[in-house]
């Protein structure tokens, strides 16, 4: 029996930390409880709906709490099990529901993908950019980063537009051969 508990507990932990970087895995939010019931097929749309799942969650959690711990989780599953499998005994029904959940992980569905619509591709085609926006990308269409946005200040000491930059040293150090001192 203890093996089942660990598989169930492992699933509880996986769903408890889903979508929350600070979660410890010891308690589960209502949102993740609903997700667990949806992903594991506890919600069937006939005997058990999302509403039933939410009602059971509210029933088993402590009054002031917004989460349930593993023990409350098992009580909640027991209630749902009796509702889902009306023709079975309490223990059989619970075992059925536990099997639905054991070893499961949150399903990550509907992850946002970049849509290649003609409108978006036209707006993001850097070859068609004009004006100052054109300056921000190189020929391949990659952004230049800060170099494309910020004017780099010339700290050479010469005024802008001065053509003979760097020629002063040559003038000063001209060979003085043939001239009297």
pLDDT in tens, 94-136: 888 888 888 888 877 666 666 667 777 777 778 888 887 787 8
Q: What pLDDT score was predicted for residue 55?
A: 93
Is it the case that residue 2 has pLDDT exceeding 60?
A: no
Question: If you average pLDDT over residues 148-152, what whole number do you get?
Answer: 72
Rounded mean pLDDT of 68-74? 91
Question: Token pair of 114, please?
Answer: 């970049």
pLDDT for 113 equals: 62
Angle at 55 between CA 32 and CA 80, to 5 degrees: 80
For residue 5, the model assigns a pLDDT of: 57
Measured CA to CA, the distance from residue 25 to residue 17 in angstroms comes to 5
Using 50, 70 and 90 to split pLDDT, how confident is the model at 56? very high
Report the alpha-carbon distance of residue 95 to residue 102 in Å, rounded.
10
Rg (CA), the chain: 34
- For the stretch 162-181, pLDDT in tens is 777 777 777 777 665 666 65
Q: In three state form, how does the secondary structure of 124-148 look?
A: CCHHHCCHHHHCCECCCCCECCHHH
Domains along the chain? 7-100 (1.10.238.10), 114-148 (no CATH)
Cα separations in angstroms, 144 against 48, 123, 125, 136? 55, 18, 15, 6
Query: In Å, how far are 158, 167, 173, 179 from 164, measured between CA atoms?
Result: 9, 6, 16, 26
Phi, psi (deg, nearest 5) at residue 143: -70, 145
Q: What percent of the chain has pLDDT over 70?
A: 88
Give me the pLDDT at residue 68, please. Answer: 92
Neighbours of 142 (CB within 10 A): 10
- What backbone torsions phi and psi does residue 44 show, to the nearest 5 degrees? -115, -5
Greatest Cα-to-Cα distance within the chain, rounded to the nearest angstrom: 121
The pLDDT of residue 45: 82
Q: 86, 106, 126: which is closest to 15 by C-alpha?
A: 106
């Amino acid at each position: 029996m203890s093996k089942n508990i660990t598989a169930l507990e492992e699933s509880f932990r996986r769903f408890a930390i889903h979508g929350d970087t600070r979660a410890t895995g010891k308690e589960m939010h209502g949102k993740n409880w609903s997700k667990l019931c949806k992903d594991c097929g506890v919600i069937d749309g006939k005997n058990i709906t999302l509403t039933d799942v939410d009602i059971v969650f509210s029933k088993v959690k402590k009054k002031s709490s917004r989460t349930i711990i593993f023990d409350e989780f098992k009580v909640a599953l027991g209630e749902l099990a009796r509702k889902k499998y009306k023709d079975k005994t309490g223990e059989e029904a619970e075992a059925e529901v536990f099997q639905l959940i054991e070893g499961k992980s949150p399903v990550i569905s509907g992850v946002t993908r970049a849509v290649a619509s003609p409108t978006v591709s036209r707006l993001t085609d850097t070859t068609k950019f004009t004006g100052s926006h054109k300056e921000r990308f190189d020929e391949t269409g990659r952004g230049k980063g800060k170099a494309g946005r910020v004017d780099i200040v010339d700290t050479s000491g010469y005024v802008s537009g001065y053509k003979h930059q760097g020629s002063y040293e040559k003038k000063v150090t001209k060979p003085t051969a043939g001239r009297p001192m």
